[in-house]
Amino acid sequence: MQALREAVGSEAAQYLYVNEGKNADGTANYYVGIYDSNPSTGDRRSFEQVNEVAGEYGAIIRDPQSVKLEFVGTGTIEDDYGDRTYIAPASRGGTPAATGYFKGQLTIKMLDWSKKDLGYLPGRVMSDDKDNMLTPSVMQGHELGHARARMTGYRDRRGNREAIDGSLRLENKIRKLQFPNGPTRKVH
C-alpha cells in the first residue's frame, strides 16, 4: 500500500484505503479501495482527477478483474507463456518483478523489497544514459502497466508494443510525478 500511495502522490494517496477479506482457509487478502472524495480535506474531485497517475491507477483499481500482488524471494518462476523468468535484483541480471496469469489469476510477482535491494536499471535504458535505482513505487507501477494491458485485452508478449508501451507510459508518469526533472525510461 505504501508503494501505491507513493506512486500516486501525497494528495491522491489520501483517497486510498485497504479492505481486508478472508479466504476459506482463514488466510487474509487485502483489497485497495478508493474514497469518493478526499477524507482529509473534503475535496470533491474524484481520485482519477487528482493527477495522471491517479487516473491510470483508478482504472486498474476499479476494473472488475482483480490483480493479485505476491512478494517472492529470489528464484526462478514459470510465467504464463512457458518462458522462465529469473526474479532477482536487476543489478544481478534478473528482473525484480513479473506480470502474468499464474494459475488463471492475473498476478504481479515482485521481489520482496523489504529483504532485497531491487537493483539499478542500466543507463542504456534511461533518458539520461545513467544507471537509475529502482524504487518499489516505480517498479510496482511498471508492472501495473503490464497488468492493465492484459485487462484491456492486449497480449503482453515481448515485441507487443501496446503492452510494453503501457508499462513504460505508466512508469514514466510515476517518475515525472515523483521527480519532475528526473530521467525517464526509454527502453523496456
For the entire predicted model, the pTM comes to 0.87
Q: Is the pLDDT of residue 8 over 90?
A: yes
What is the C-alpha separation between 130 and 106, in angstroms, rounded? 33
The whole-number pLDDT of residue 149 equals 86
What is the C-alpha separation between 12 and 152, in angstroms, rounded? 24
Mean pLDDT value of segment 11-19: 95
Band (171; pLDDT cuts 50, 70, 90): very high
Helix 161-178 to helix 52-62 angle (10° resolution) is: 130
**8 Å CB contact between 12 and 178:** no
Query: 16-62: per-residue pLDDT in tens?
Result: 999 998 888 988 889 999 999 998 888 899 999 999 999 999 999 99
The whole-number pLDDT of residue 74 equals 79
Mean pLDDT value of segment 164-183: 92
What is the C-alpha separation between 174 and 98, in angstroms, rounded? 18
Q: Which residue has the higher pLDDT, 155 or 11?
A: 11
Query: 83-138: per-residue pLDDT in tens?
Result: 677 777 776 777 888 888 888 889 888 888 776 677 888 999 999 999 998 889 99
Q: Give the three cell numbers for residue 170.
A: 505508466
If one counts every other C-beta atom within 10 angstroms of the C-beta of residue 106, the result is 18
**8 Å CB contact between 98 and 85:** yes
| Chain mean position to CA 87 | 15
Give the gyration radius of the chain's Cα atoms: 16
Greatest extent of the chain over all pairs of C-alpha atoms, in Å: 50
The whole-number pLDDT of residue 137 equals 93
Query: 125-160: per-residue pLDDT in tens?
Result: 999 999 998 889 999 999 999 898 888 876 555 555
What is the C-alpha separation between 30 and 2, in angstroms, rounded? 13
